[in-house]
Amino acid sequence: PDFFGNRSSKTFKPKKNIPEGSHQYELLKHAEATLGSGNLRMAVMLPEGEDLNEWVAVNTVDFFNQINMLYGTITDFCTEESCPVMSAGPKYEYHWADGTNIKKPIKCSAPKYIDYLMTWVQDQLDDETLFPSKIGVPFKRNFMSVAKTILKRLFRVYAHIYHQHFDSVMQLQEEAHLNTSFKHFIFFVQEFNLIDRKELVPLQELIEKLTTKDR
């Protein structure tokens, strides 16, 4: 579904496409179809006979694209002035390090942090050795730990949007879209234990609210 009408072209970073006709594309279509059924717990489960790495890879790309669009709608409100630090409420502040270019965590504004973060994720997704798009190319041994780091970091963008920009999200009438996306994300990471509980604390109340209705 096109949630954005004519604004759908505004993404923060270019959309990461999964090649049509590939097995991963089929998996993505399967994911979209099961999501349509409304039962998220079922929708996130590993489809029968599928490879867990591939399922996680396809969904990680999808979450990147969703967050990309969601953040793209509020970039005008997330500025050096409004968000001089990358925070999720008054108690949580994130400092950026990627282990290669920036080894020591740096304190920076939210827009800068999210730019670093999304660029870093994009580089991982574009790395054919990490996210192979060709059939039969095996996933690296460390794939799952890389995927976990990507998802942990993508969570921080949701946390920042919810804590600092929810008013703007409501003004734009995007809250249903944001909630649906985040709920899907949470059910997915819970299903496969992909994010440490302590990392999820900034949105703990919301997570409880979104996930208890569907037990």
* CA 6 distance to own-chain centroid: 23
Backbone angles phi, psi at 87, to 5 degrees: -125, 165
- pLDDT at residue 3 tops 50: no
- pLDDT recorded at residue 133: 82
Please state whether the predicted TM-score (pTM) of the whole model is above 0.75. Answer: yes
Q: Are 111 and 83 in contact (CB under 8 A)?
A: yes
- CA pair distance 111, 62, nearest whole angstrom: 21
Average pLDDT value for residue range 60-74 = 94
**Amino acid, res. 126:** D
Q: How far apart are the first and last CA of the chain?
A: 26
- CA pair distance 74, 175, nearest whole angstrom: 12
Q: Quick check: helix, strand or coil at residue 67?
A: helix
**Amino acid, res. 49:** G
Nearest to 185 by CA among 52, 43, 71, 6: 43
- pLDDT at residue 6 tops 50: no
Average pLDDT value for residue range 42-63 = 94
- pLDDT at residue 113 tops 50: yes
Query: Between residues 109 and 22, which one has the greater pLDDT?
Result: 109
Query: Residue by residue, what is the 3-state secondary structure of 105-130?
Result: CECCCHHHHHHHHHHHHHHHHCCCCC
- pLDDT at residue 1 tops 90: no
- CA pair distance 88, 168, nearest whole angstrom: 15
Residue located via tokens 């998802």: 151
Question: Model confidence over 115-134: pLDDT tens digits?
Answer: 999 999 999 999 999 999 87
pLDDT band at 12 (very low <50, low <70, confident <90, very high): confident
Question: Model confidence over 131-148: pLDDT tens digits?
Answer: 998 777 899 999 999 999
pLDDT band at 7 (very low <50, low <70, confident <90, very high): very low
- pLDDT recorded at residue 42: 87
Binding positions are: 78, 83, 160, 165
- pLDDT recorded at residue 10: 58
Binding positions for Zn(2+) are: 78, 83, 160, 165
- pLDDT recorded at residue 214: 52
Backbone angles phi, psi at 93, to 5 degrees: -130, 135
Would you tell me how many other CB atoms lie within 10 Å of the CB of residue 138?
Answer: 10
